[in-house]
Structure 1
Amino acid sequence: MRAPEMAPLLSARGLRLAFGGVKAADGIDLDVLPGEFLAIIGPNGAGKTTFINMTTGYLKPQGGSIAYQGQSILGLKPRAIVRRGIGRSFQLPQLFTEHTVLENATLAIAARAGLWSPWRRLLRPEWQEEAEALLERFGLLGVAHARADALNEGARKLADIAMAAALEPRLLLMDEPTSGVAAAEKMKVVETLVRVLRETGVTAVFVEHDMDVVARFADRVAVWSQGRIAALGPPAEVLADPRVRREVIGIETHA
């Protein structure tokens, strides 16, 4: 007997969006499966970030549909999408740089609780305890009392993703989580975030340019090209494709 197919956590169908004559999304069909780590790769301008922005409510597609857990999320504002269980991190970390790492984490927890306002005391004991536990999981407890602008890029990336994780998403979309991180730090940063997300049962989609990171950590790889998905499958299969190697990775292949 054939095993039943897993229902997708996120399902995009026929997504279309153009900026002038540039097609950033030209009929995107993609399912994200529960528990997977899906890497999105492709040249600059291929539409990778556009897809994340459409999924998280920052851009509205001109055509197509996006469903999360079987329900449409088209037209919802970013905050409403976060409340549904979809989080994101940005290419440039979105931290309050004048505040400590612990204060940043506590702000995220307060926002999740819907209780944050300038007139409330943010460092409640229960929020601070949760923030410290969160930072410990991400290996950031040692810099909890450092200002965010004093961190190196690897720690800044982890702190940014930790803030997204504080909102308790079921699906997390990350735009270039290793961008700007020193080569010597990249694997350690990704190892940490993958470990934490897997431990907490978070499904992840991440845009990435480092093929070593993709090969090591992705369950599947989707290749973006001119607003379309040119290839989709396991890393070993996709990264060995001559067209992907030539057009995305930049390696010429010869017969």
Structure 2
Amino acid sequence: MSASDHRRAEAAGDPDRPREATRAPLLSARGLRLAFGGVKAADGIDLDVMPGEFLAIIGPNGAGKTTFINMTTGYLRPQAGSIDYDGQPILGLSPRAIVKRGIGRSFQLPQLFSEHTVLENAALAIAAHAGLWSPLTPLLRPRYREEAMALLDRFGLAPLAEARADALNEGARKLADIAMAAALQPRLLLMDEPTSGVAATEKMGIVETLVRVLRDTGVTAVFVEHDMEVVERFADRVAVWSQGRIAALGPPEQVLNDPAVLRDVIGIEPAHHA
């Protein structure tokens, strides 16, 4: 089901997708501020992420999009503000502690063990979730191998299980990186440019796969994205970052037709937008 289908189902009163007003946010950021010298990477960010939604973050380079992800996942600490996850504050926690709370992350550059196979990478991610840090060979005994293969199969990566990570094309590497994050069984997954560097012919298929898997497993997602076709097709809401602030927030059909967004983010004059 596409994002627009989900929005229509919610508007129609689908009991499986209650209206946002009846739900508490899964993630809530308030008053986030962070400056690097004279550059304001976060200048009063207020944002709620609702359970089950796919929220796209768009904006020009340097607008503070990745900074928000870094603050949420414990890699940066804001100079002011708060971040609550599932009703509990998470500022000051380490990245590892935040992962244990249920927040996963994939990076703009895939974080894979390049000298190991895709299957070995999956086994290591599963072991990390279980708190098991043993030599690699014992991890591939039948129990862990079966769980890792099931994970790869959900993401369409089973045919590449025995391939080394450094032999994958960029699309497969991105999908494998997200699969590793999913192995940690997060409730919230933050993805930094999941289609960056992916061939145009592969892009939609990859996003369709990851959206299907995440929706099927009930994972809420926030993703930074530059491809407006991906945003329009798969996001439930879009947040526009500009100079450390949220300049616009709403459903794709509203935000992506905002004259200021068209001009300043997408780079076309509103009069020329079809």
Whether TM-score is above 0.5 comes out as yes
* Residue 82 (str. 1) matches residue 99 (str. 2): yes
CA distance in 2, matches of 1:119, 1:41: 39
The Cα RMSD (Å) is 1.4
Query: Quick one: percent identity of the two aligned structures?
Result: 83
2:262 is the counterpart of 1:215: no
Deviation at 1:3, TM superposition (A): 8.7
Structure 1 residues 195 and 246, CA, compared in 2 at 3 Å: closer, same or farther?
same
* Contact 2:52-2:221 at 8 Å conserved across structures: yes
When normalised by structure 2's length, the TM-score is 0.91
Of the three residues 97, 115, 120, the one matched with 2:132 is 115
Aligned to 2:209: 192
Aligned-residue offset at 1:126: 1.1
SS in 1 for 2:197: coil
| TM-score under structure 1 length normalisation | 0.97
- 1 CA distance for matches of 2:141 and 2:33? 45
Amino acid in the other structure paired with 2:268:
I
- Whichever residue aligns with residue 80 of structure 2, its letter is G
Q: C-alpha deviations, 1:194-241, integer Å up to 9, x for none?
A: 000000000000000000000000000000000000000000000000
Distance 1:254 1:144 in 2: 49
SS in structure 2 opposite 1:254?
A: helix
More displaced stretch, 6-15 vs 114-123:
114-123
Match of 1:48 in 2: 65
Question: How far, CA to CA, are the matches of 2:190 and 2:20 in structure 1?
Answer: 28
Query: Deviations along 1:109-167, whole A, 9 cap, x unmatched?
Result: 00000011348722132111010000000000000000001111110000000000000
Structure 2: how far apart are the matches of 1:166 and 1:123?
A: 15
Q: Larger helix proportion, structure 1 or 2?
A: 2
Whole-angstrom CA distance in 2 between matches of 1:120 and 1:186: 34
- Unaligned segments of structure 2, at least 5 residues: 1-18
Asked if residue 241 in structure 1 is aligned to residue 258 in structure 2, the reply is: yes
| Cα distance in 1, alignment partners of residues 171 and 20 from structure 2 | 41
1:180 to 191, 197, 204: 197
Equivalent residue runs for 1:1-255 within 5 Å: 5-118=22-135, 121-254=138-271
For residue 6 of structure 1, report the CA deviation from its aligned partner: 1.1
Which runs of at least 4 in structure 1 moved beyond 3 Å after TM superposition? 117-120
The SS at the match of 1:23 is strand
Query: CA shift at 1:253, angstroms?
Result: 2.0
Alpha-carbon separation, structure 2, partners of 1:124 and 1:75 = 37
